[in-house]
Structure 1
C-alpha cells in the first residue's frame, strides 16, 4: 500500500473511532510511520484529508449499490429493491469502520465542515437516486408497481433505507432482530407500491 493510501486508511479509522477534533495529524503520522510534515505532500490540511475521506466513504457506498444493482438486471423490481436493502445491511455490517465514520459525522459534523459534508452526502444521494429511478421507471412500464411519480417512489424508498440503517445502530449485534425488522418493513412497503395495492392506499398519494 502506498503512503497516501495508508494515510487515508489510518485517518479513516481514527476519525471514526475518536472524532475529528480528537484526531491530530501527528497521531495519524505516528500510526502511519512517517513524520507529520510528510502528510502535507499529499493533503493540504487535516480538513482536506477529512473531506477527501468523507467523499470516498459516500461514493464507496454508492458504488457498492451500483454493483449490486447491475448484477440484478434480469430480476423483478421486487427482487431488485429487496436485495438492495439486504445488501445495504451486509455492506454496513462488513464495512464497520466506514459505517462508524458515516454515522458519526452525519449526526455530528465537525464545526465549520457541515456544509461540505452535506454536499458530499447529496452527491452520493443523487447517484443512488439515479439507480432507483432506473428501477422504478422500468417497474412502472412493466406494471410491477403503481404509476406514481418517480420522486415519490424514490423518496419513500430512501426513507425506508434510512430507517433500516438506524436500526443497525441498535441491533448490529442481533442479526435475527435486524432480519425481522427488514422483512416486516419491506412487506408493508411493497404492499403499498405494488400494482395490486388497494384503492384505499392510493388516496394517501
Structure 2
C-alpha cells in the first residue's frame, strides 16, 4: 500500500470524523490493510496528520499558483472576481477537503504546529500578490477607485475565508447567491463614481 493512499485515507477520515475520533485502525481499514502496516510509513497518528496537512498544503499551493497564472491576463476587476470564484469552486468541488481543514486547523494551531502557519502564509502571500497586482493595475487604468492595495487585499482574503467557512453551512445555490451579493458590494466599492465600468 502506498504512502500516498494512506495520506488520502487520513484526509478523508480526519475530515469525516475528526482527528480524535479516527484511529490508525480506521485508516488502515479504509486502505484495506492492517494497522501495523501504517507504521512502515508513519511512526504515529500525529506524524500522519502532519503529512496529511503538508500534502494538502502542497496541493493548495500548486492549485493557487495555477489559478493566479490563469487569471493574470484578465482585466483587473474580472481578475479579482475570477480569482475568488476559482478558489471557491476548488473548495466547493472538494467537500472532504473543507471538512478536513475545518476539523484540523484549530487542532494543529492549538498544538503549536509552526509549519501550519508557514503553509497558510505561503498560500495567502500568493493570493495577496495577485489581488494587489490586479488592484494596482485597475487604479492605473482608471477602472478602480484609488485606495490602499493592502486594505483591499485584506478585505478580499477575509471575504474568501468567510465564504470558505460558509461552505460547511450553506447549500451550493445559497452559497453562490451570497457570494454574488457580496461581490456586487465589492465591485461597487471599487468602481470609479460608485458604478462598475
Q: How does 1:125-136 map to 2 (within 5 A)?
A: 125-136=124-135
Kindly indicate whether the alpha-carbon contact (under 8 Å) linking 1:17 and 1:100 is maintained by their aligned counterparts in 2: yes
Kindly indicate whether the alpha-carbon contact (under 8 Å) linking 1:15 and 1:101 is maintained by their aligned counterparts in 2: yes
- Correspondence for 2:192 among 188, 192, 195: 195
Q: TM-score, normalised by structure 2?
A: 0.84
Alignment deviations for residues 51-105 of structure 1 (CA, whole Å, 9 cap, x no partner): 2211332342343233223222321111111112222332122111111111222
Alignment deviations for residues 115-156 of structure 1 (CA, whole Å, 9 cap, x no partner): 543443233222322332332233333233233222111101
Does residue 179 in structure 1 map to residue 164 in structure 2? no
Q: TM-score, normalised by structure 1?
A: 0.81
Kindly indicate whether the alpha-carbon contact (under 8 Å) linking 1:89 and 1:165 is maintained by their aligned counterparts in 2: yes
Unmatched 5+ residue regions in structure 1? 199-205
Unmatched 5+ residue regions in structure 2? none
CA distance in 2: counterparts of 1:110 and 1:35, whole angstroms? 30
Q: Which residue of 1 aligns with 2:77?
A: 78
How far did residue 170 of structure 1 move?
1.9
Q: Which residue of 1 aligns with 2:144?
A: 145
CA distance in 2: counterparts of 1:151 and 1:59, whole angstroms? 25
CA distance in 2: counterparts of 1:10 and 1:122, whole angstroms? 26
How far did residue 157 of structure 1 move?
0.7
Q: Which residue of 2 aligns with 1:203?
A: none
Distance 1:154-1:163 versus aligned 2 partners, 3 A rule: same
How far did residue 110 of structure 1 move?
7.6
Q: Cα RMSD (Å) of the superposition?
A: 2.4
Kindly indicate whether the alpha-carbon contact (under 8 Å) linking 1:62 and 1:124 is maintained by their aligned counterparts in 2: yes
